[in-house]
Chains A and B, each alone.
Chain A
Amino acid sequence: MVNLTIDGKEVKVSKTATIYEAAKEAGIYIPVLCYAKKLLPYGACRVCLVEVEQMKGRLIPSCTTPVTAGMVVTTMSDEIRKVRKTVLEFLLVNHVVDCPVCDKAGECDLQDLSYEYEVVTNRFAGEKFDLPKDEINPLIERNMNRCVLCGKCVRVCDEVVGYGSYSFINRGFETKIATAFDRGLNCEFCGQCVSLCPVGAILPRPFKFKARPWQLKEVNSVCGYCGNGCTVTFGTKDNEVQTIRFNDKTGVNDGNLCIRGRFGATYVNSDQRLTSPLIRKDGELVEASWEEALEKVTEGLRSAGSSAGIISGARLTNEELFLLKNLAKAVGTGNLDHSGGECYKGVTEGLHETLGLQASTATFPQVEKANAILAIRNDFYETHPVFGMVVNQAVKRNNAHLTVIGDKQGKLTRMPHARNLQHKPGLEVNILNAMCRFLLDEKLAKTDGLQGVEELQEALADYAVDAVTAAAGVSADAIKQSAKELVSAENAAILLAYGLPYTAYSRELGLAAANLALLTGIAGRSGSGLYLCGEKSNSQGAIDQQILPAAGALGVSGMLKSASEGKLKALYVTGEDMLVSYPDKGLVEKALDKTPFVVVQDLFLSETASKADVVLPAASFAEKSGTFTNAERRIQRLHPGIKSPGQAKTDFAIFQALLTGFGAAVPATEAAAFMALAATTPGYEMVGLEMIGDQGYVWGGETLVPEIRNLVAVTGGKALEAKYQLVVGSALYHSGTTSVHAKGPMSVVSEPYIEFGREDAAELKIVDGQQVKLKAAGGEISAKAKVDRRLPKGVLFAPYHFGSLKLNRIYNGQASIAVEISK
């Protein structure tokens, strides 16, 4: 700690603080334009100049100057005022004064400072910039005439996002912020630059002319898309979510968001939302009253009893899942499961068998301090983009060693010094096994207290590094080096995402990752962690509450199989469009057709809903109270920003009504439900709603210590012998099937595509945008080609979000699909 004096006030701050930070901590105001808490000091704008007694003769930029003991700082004097005013005058030589039409007016730092420093005339005159606006992309408008060259957009895109869209180009008076070759913006569209731009140079286009900033009501809630659990701050007006506003004070995401979080919430305003219950009459779905619909559902479920199946999405709140579980009990069925059944076995079974846990062992912020990181499946940053940003910061700021095991390249593999173990599809487990084997052979493994060391060593006989190297197509040195880094790092992290597009050998992957985490001592060690991240906003909550089949009962795949054989009497699906997103469309179709009574509860009349007997209109995350548990076990509270459209009800209200129909006990409020679920959910026992503050509450603490330490041998995959094979996954811009109703993500990726590596595209003479057909066992799919740089030869990729692609006609959960290509 360092003592200094600012404006006569004694201040004690950390020795790494800058003068600006010290002043801020002491409640002393210094204006800034280029400073941002999460970026490295830069010192470009010069409005934060202050006087330091020990550095007389010049003014000192407070945002880049570290404090020293005994410093005497003055933050305001006649001279400082004069200089700051001059700086503003210089900025306003170039900056156009078009505040009346600028969306930033009312919250623009330059405007506020011009007002504060009374810049009413300008002693300097010059030609204003007349640069063309970038209005090509649908989400982010760039008007460089308003730019003050603070470089925040350049820095955030590099330091935090790791995409590097922007740079300063040209020099001198001609300097401006631009993309490579000065083209329109074509990036991840996370909008981090939008959130940090202090002026109106970078603006969210969807918000244009929607409201003045001061007209918006702000409500903090949790993003409804992925398991990252980012805080979103709704700016609402006229019962619509108009924009998602910057907020680095609440939650763990430091104001960082991805395209879905920042631009994808608008589906809640969609005029396609279901507004009243629908009942099938004479083959048609017609509007009905809630009474009639609920009565029908109660009756249908009651008569099905133990042969009813309940499948839930993982975007329901904990409280809603709790009621759903009670509903299953009231109906008398153990056939309860969530999201795909197979996809999360890595956590529910893999981790359970090895660690006795069913959750990540540490929290996201710890990863920033990791020295070695292993990311399994580079898609993990596409499913959990903001977590990907944490990895970027670990690599860029703390020189963490990053290894990526994946079948395609991505943003992570392009990070500085990233080691890319790009393997043939379906062989992740083999590589993890090889790492384990290497650590055991070389006596590097930390085997103290582990069960099954010898058995594992024996079982891994076929996974010597050289053997795996040849089969998987990665270098032996890379495998060895990564294993060494993981085992020797003070803090290390193993990251794996799972979800609907990754159903193949999910349990095996969970086991293999857990084995490695045990052998390297990562699991349960403070500062290190094994992260198994669920795809959806409350995947972890669903696992915590055991939204899983009861002993001897059916999980999703069992239910679908059984239903397709006509053995289930009722199916109740909440928040899932199974026909689009689940593997094996044929099976799902048959299951829905053969089940006499199908209920679908959703926001939209999805493909699955249109097959139902009763459709119940549900509320979106923006209309709910309750809690989500994110992939690091952080329980966070949702707050409703708007009212539901028409007669749509929250899942909570719907389950309440159904439970009442069954004569079961019903918690009156979400708060009561939370108390009840906390009492019965392991890890939640001591958690009260009042304990969930701005940063949420991590159940089990920052580090979750394994209950057992069992090594479990696991068999790897075999490479598919096919000239061309298709892998299925998530696209960064979308999440499940919900984001296809959101204007933001749809304006960037509006239709399905089949991605080709450039080598294959050149050989097949396929160009970007050309219609191509893929034939596989099970059928044929057709979509436009997208030619990119990230796929190896012979491997194609297709995202699973779009119903029109009918991808699950050929995807049955296999690691990769042999395909034939035609035009």
Chain B
Amino acid sequence: MDLDRRDFLKVSTAACAGLGLSGCVLKKLIESEEAEAPWPPGPESWVASVCQQCPGGCGIQVRVIDGTAVKIDGLPFHPVNRGRLCAVGQAGLQVLYDPDRIKGPMRRMGGRGSSNWQSLSWDEAIRLVAEKLAEIRRRDESHTVAILAGQPRGLMDRLLARFLDAYGSPNYIRNSCDGTAKAVLLTQGIDTLVGYDLEHSNFILSFGYSLVEAGWSPVLAHRIYGYLRQERPGVKAKIVQVEPRLSMTGARSDQWIPITPGTDGALALGLAYVIVREGLYDKRFVEEQTFGFEDWQDGSGASHLGFKSLLLKAYQLEEVSTITGVPVETIIRLAKEFAREKPAVALAERGASMHTNGLYTRMAIHCLNALVGSINVPGGVVLSEEVPLTPWPPVEGDALGLKGRLMPRIDHAGTSRFPIASHVFSQVPRSILRQDPYPINVLFLYYTNPIHSAPDAMGFAKAFEKVPFIVSFSPFMDESAQQADLILPDHTYLERWQDDPVNPMMKYPVLGIRRPVVKPSYDTRNTGDVIIGIAKAIGGKVAAAFAWDDFEGILKDAAKGIFHAGGTLFTAPFEEAQVKSLEERGWRPPRYKSFDEFWDQLVERGGWWDPAYQFVGGRRLFKTVSGKFEFYSQHLRRTLERVAAGKPVSELLRELKVTAREDQAYLPHYEPARFIGEAKDYPFYLNTFKSATYAGSRGASQPHLQEISRLPIGLPWDSWVEINPQAAKGLGIADGDWVWVESPLGKLKTRARLYPGAMPDVVNMPVGQGHKAYGRWAKGRGENPNRILGEERDSLAGFTAWYATRVKLSKA
């Protein structure tokens, strides 16, 4: 094992000599006299770290020569990616060496959006922020400070929240897309993302889950895909993809089922109908471990509607077929396969559920797993343990802090407006503009660029004008940073310390350690350090909440927890099996003499994990009122009753635009989705999608990602709109034509691609292009469909309804 590790993590001095030698040979062989010699090879090393091009959390090893990073590869022993890395991860050096990075702290002179920037020192910058915050605090308005966070990985999330806790504001607002967590909350009582043991599934039914493109962990999904296709001994898993656009995932599935946007919930219930009517459900699981399947009576003797009755009453197949556009035979066949090919698992992601009916849709899909007993079994829904980090002491806080913390949030999450939501990012612009419930004085932007990447981007732009002071931590001059008053540029992910726990998809707790692989190129600073610095500058109880010197200190401290917890550092599969078998017998061998030794090894190997998984112990998975999986969500009922605050729940439901009443509202059911634009004026649904090679909206600054093909039919360096060939014919649009895509909110011009994987009444546009800023490679390429999306969201959970806008097309 030692030998292997040495192989991967360190190149011996002999290898360095070898490199020099082979360099010479190569030079002779292929280098031309006029070809510029790159530079003389110097000392070389491979440094382990964690990728952050997406939330997947893959381990990376970076080849560093003479202090310069020259190649990123997958970290061989990281359990997520096992040495593999995707296109986006491979392109990471172009983030590090982007010539348009912000080189140091900057203050804007002149009006909002002016590009007159003045450099200042970090001390000045931190003092400036601290003074501002202290002054607001003195005015007793600490709650008017808000943080918008896009991708706060690991402890950064807790750090930012803790900062506002100590300072005195409830307004830590995350741009979360953890929609399934809410379905799990309603049915299992835990507000977290669950994992899926896909490697052992025989049937994967995915509702718009772009597993291999922009899912939670693309490389893990790729690995599983490859494994399921040709490596797994025995049964080959079947993959069925339900979605309006034939995505890459759909393309490589066994079957693609096109579905009318916003009706996935109806299909899931139609499948449930077949499974129940034919008696194909897992009777033992449903009887023993679920609640609300049959009609039931509560303590007061009142009888309530059960899931079964609802299904049989309201989800006749003809009706489901009409709603979804999926033929009856397909529904029946799919339902039977799903119930029989055990273990089967149903997944939902963005595609299916980012509609106004998203929560109920996810709930319906998640209930399919319970129906076939795929909860906490191999090949089904699993739930990993938390990474056992050292817990933080609670924030003591002063009176001001406590008072501010208890003020209502500006996004109204968890109130009667959005009863099930934790964060309602898309509500922010409206709240700011209407000062609802109060104005915002200071806004921090961490890892988010809503002026480009949020729907209603224009709303954010307008709202930003109303905020007196905006601080951005962005290392890049993106559209939102341009509107900031102060930029405190973070390091890129290859230059900073950070922990990266892997939540979704995995069965096991995994913690990757992101460490600086090269010295920071510019005068940038880890935002964690900056936050601690600001807290310390404010002083008092705010400073006291941060006992650490810097973020590296936080990390080291947190790691003490895992030092004591057992588990193992990233190791070869052979060793993993050993640890697993030992742990299953109750052994926790201490492998390191001291914490320092452990820490050094942790950093060098890139992380820690605990490969043992317990399929027993259902209680861990069901923290509901009944202690069981709840088809009938008592959590939802109690929450609604609580936030209704005395008024009838039916009235609250009406305000929330939920059509269901009484028991039906607590059961998974189909709510028709609302759309912006009338079908007669705007005949097409606009379906936006993320591409596999794009890293959300961030990839546009990386020319390697811009230049490669956009599979299956897109245009490099550009955006496009995918139209069904028959529909295009009707409009006289040919492949490659320039077309106008117009919604009630505006229009944009882009090129048409005729794609048989587009439904006749749905057009698809990729997100990520159309930047107005963000560096030379990104600026002015293609169009940003977010520009013409309307502002709609799920009523209960506040999910952004990305797909709620209708459009019309015309030849430009």
Q: Are A and B subunits of one complex?
A: no
A residues near B (Cβ < 8 Å) are none
